[in-house]
Amino acid sequence: MNVHEYQAKALFEKFGVPVPKGAPARTPDEFVGALSLLPEGPTMVKSQIHAGGRGKGTFTDGYKGGVKFCKTKAEAKEVAARMLGNTLVTLQTGPAGRKVQTVYFTTASDIKKEYYMAILLDRARSRPVIVASTEGGVEIEKVARETPDKIFKVVVDPAYGLADYQVRELVTKLGMAGAEAKNASRFVRALYGVYWETDATMVEVNPLITTGAGEVVALDAKVSFDDNALFRHPDIVALRDLNEEDPKEIEASKHALNYIALDGDIACLVNGAGLAMSTMDIIKHFGGSPANFLDVGGGASREQVVAAFKIILGDPKVKGILVNIFGGIMDCDVIAHGIVEAVRLVGLRLPLVVRLEGNNVAAGKATLAASGVSIVSGDSMADAAQKIVKLVA
Amino acid sequence: MAILVTPETRILVQGITGDFGGRHAGLSLDYGTRVVAGVTPGKGGQFFEHGPHRVPIFNSVADAARATCAMVSAIFVPPPFAADAILECADAGLDLAVAITEGIPVKDMVRVKRAMAGGRTRLVGPNCPGIVTPGTGEQSHGGCRIGIAPGYIHRSGHVGVVSRSGTLTYEAVYQLTVRSIGQTTCVGIGGDPVNGTSHLDVIRMFNDDPETRGIVMIGEIGGSTEVEAARWIKANCKKPVAGFIAGATAPPGRRMGHAGAIVGGAEDTAAAKIAVFRECGIEVAVTPSDMADALVRAAKARGVSLS
């Protein structure tokens, strides 16, 4: 689960990570109240959407920049009025963009130098790793590629936690000394607290800055949480913003379906994540393009199959459907009945290829054949994929 | 021979009184697996009844192991309590804990893995279909089935299968079986970022197992365990290996944030992993329909008989 910058920063403050003074506003009426919490002077206005690249983004009405520096609070109020309710398109939002439903005002900081810092899981070691760089405010992938010597890592032993010597070493590598180093050490510890205590999968600060006064501050904040751990963090669940999620994905999660929309025109309905991914791959291999990832789970029920069909057909791009079920434990005939029922319910007119394999498959195939519903049968994954690609071409 | 478990292995099931655990304990008994104990705290002294079978339930793993000599556990405990269930196996000194549970928090697994490091108990999973060593009866009856895989699709033979995904494993096993190519053992290591046993751990075991003549390795995007295994295979494994990587078309934005690319390196995309497979002499299945055939090609090239 992801949260907005202003929510992440509120969490940072709770754990003692310094952030610039700020206040969010959801309506124009709230602008004055929010701005009154900040001192007079240079102010930043930041569009709150769950996507990166906001500063370089463009609104659909042509207005440029989702993050803006303003000399005065009065100017900030005007800029906020342009952003709120407007749709921001960035490199990460796709061409449709995202509607800005909250703006965040912060005091503009006196930046001495920008850094990068993130904490996430080092999969190879199964331990948390802190990644930091002296090159902040830029694309970190580019730094990793071009100047990997400017990236420093600290792997944390979960049995002991983050050790003092590790923090000292990291801060020294970042070239800090004196009061700055002391503040940076406190910052790293507090940020690790956010990561560990909230079950975050990633905490990223880009840029982390030092100021002329020797302070160390998080100018931006990105936090993703482990969905599997949300059951023990009701306070974080409360931060969920459904406006930032695909309505089809929300609907799917209600039926315990795992659905991700893609750009293609062949919808897939598959049981199991690995098989679902490889079904997308094989469609692409034979020249088609998948419209979605949809995993109905290892033991899909009839109700789930019906719900899955409705979600798939909610996507107007879909020109054909491929159902790929390997019924290991579950009965292929049950699934076949689910497919027939779904096709009748939604009045399907698109080409449908079904590949059934596994438990009680003969009965399942017979059910499909006897239903009178127009279904093309695939013998293997390859055969089914080739058939659906041909049918939508 | 086989790896990890044989048809004689006695297993206990943690969470046997739950719907999920009970259902699959029953299916394992039907398959002929020696399910000798169940564990559900507070239900010690009761029995799990399934057809002619009457399996005693114990309050703790230690009690169950002591009373029945079961040294292998199948874990079906719900996610909030699963980490604890795994640690209980380690504390009881079992040989093997197979965690089927899906949805365990990453932090729990980070702590569990650290706690188990250097200990005697091996963990397979979590979020995995389990392990099957097929039997020699009809439809591989009489084998050891730990977890949720369909037993009947297997066939006793000489190919080892290791995979991160469930249904994709069944797909591979089924392809082998319909070609009359049997399996020594099929191991699902699970799809979570932190798991107990890696591709490489299993490949080493297959390499050392005299009965295993060929290996199918199935991976996914993300992480680098397939790459690690491939490099080891190139240097050490004389047996034919076929590989498949799922997720070539998966949208990258839906995985990790930017920092993930630095930690994982550039080797965690499907294309990168496939390139490493080729470089390491692994026969690549170009589509998921090609997994068994890829192994047949690899075996033929080395003059190895799989059946």
Task: Count contacts between A and B (CB, < 8 Å).
Answer: 189
Is the pLDDT assigned to residue A83 strictly greater than 70? yes
For residue A298, the model assigns a pLDDT of 65
For residue A263, the model assigns a pLDDT of 86
Region A65-86 average pLDDT: 96
For residue B266, the model assigns a pLDDT of 60
* 3-state SS string for A240-287: CCHHHCCHHHHHHHHCCCEEEECCCCEEEEECCHHHHHHHHHHHHHCC
For residue A243, the model assigns a pLDDT of 86
For residue A155, the model assigns a pLDDT of 98
The yes-or-no answer to whether B10-124 and B130-301 have a common fold is yes
- Domains by residue range for chain A, with CATH: 21-107 (3.30.1490.20), 111-237 (3.30.470.20), 247-392 (3.40.50.261)
Q: Do A298 and B166 touch (CB under 8 A)?
A: yes
pLDDT in tens, A350-386: 999 999 988 888 899 999 999 988 899 998 999 999 9
pLDDT in tens, A276-299: 999 999 999 999 999 999 988 766
Domain segments of chain B: what residues? 10-124, 130-301
Contact B204, B3 (CB under 8 A): no
Cα–Cα distance between B176 and B306 in angstroms, integer? Answer: 10
C-alpha distance from A289 to closest chain B C-alpha (Å): 9
For residue B263, the model assigns a pLDDT of 43
pLDDT in tens, A195-231: 999 999 999 999 999 999 999 999 999 999 998 999 9
Contact A43, A105 (CB under 8 A): yes
For residue A299, the model assigns a pLDDT of 65
Choose among B113, B249, B257: nearest Cβ to A281: B249
For residue A144, the model assigns a pLDDT of 84
Residues 257-296 of chain A whose Cβ lies under 8 A from any Cβ of chain B: 260, 262, 270-275, 277-285, 290, 293
Assembly ipTM? 0.91
Q: What CATH class has B10-124?
A: alpha beta
Q: Do B258 and A126 touch (CB under 8 A)?
A: no
For residue B259, the model assigns a pLDDT of 39
Residues of chain B neighbouring A121 (CB-CB closer than 8 A)? 106, 110, 193-194, 263
Helices (H) and strands (E) in chain A — how many of each? 13, 19
Contact A207, A20 (CB under 8 A): no
Strand ranges (E), chain B: 10-14, 34-39, 47-50, 53-58, 72-75, 96-99, 122-124, 130-133, 144-147, 156-163, 183-188, 214-220, 241-246, 283-284
Q: Do B164 and A201 touch (CB under 8 A)?
A: no
Residues 87-106 of chain A whose Cβ lies under 8 A from any Cβ of chain B: 92
Contact A351, A291 (CB under 8 A): no
- Greatest CA separation found in chain A? 80
Cα–Cα distance between B28 and B26 in angstroms, integer? Answer: 5
Region A33-45 average pLDDT: 96
Catalogue the active-site residues of B.
Answer: 258
Contact B223, B247 (CB under 8 A): no
Give the mean pLDDT per block of 10 residues along chain B (307 residues).
94 96 95 98 97 97 98 97 98 97 95 96 95 96 95 96 92 96 97 93 98 96 90 97 90 46 60 95 96 97 93
Q: What CATH topology corresponds to B130-301?
A: Rossmann fold (3.40.50)
| A87 strand-pairing partners | A99
Residues of chain B neighbouring A232 (CB-CB closer than 8 A)? 80, 105
**Catalytic residue at A135?**
no
Tokens of B303: 């003059």
Contact B294, B285 (CB under 8 A): yes
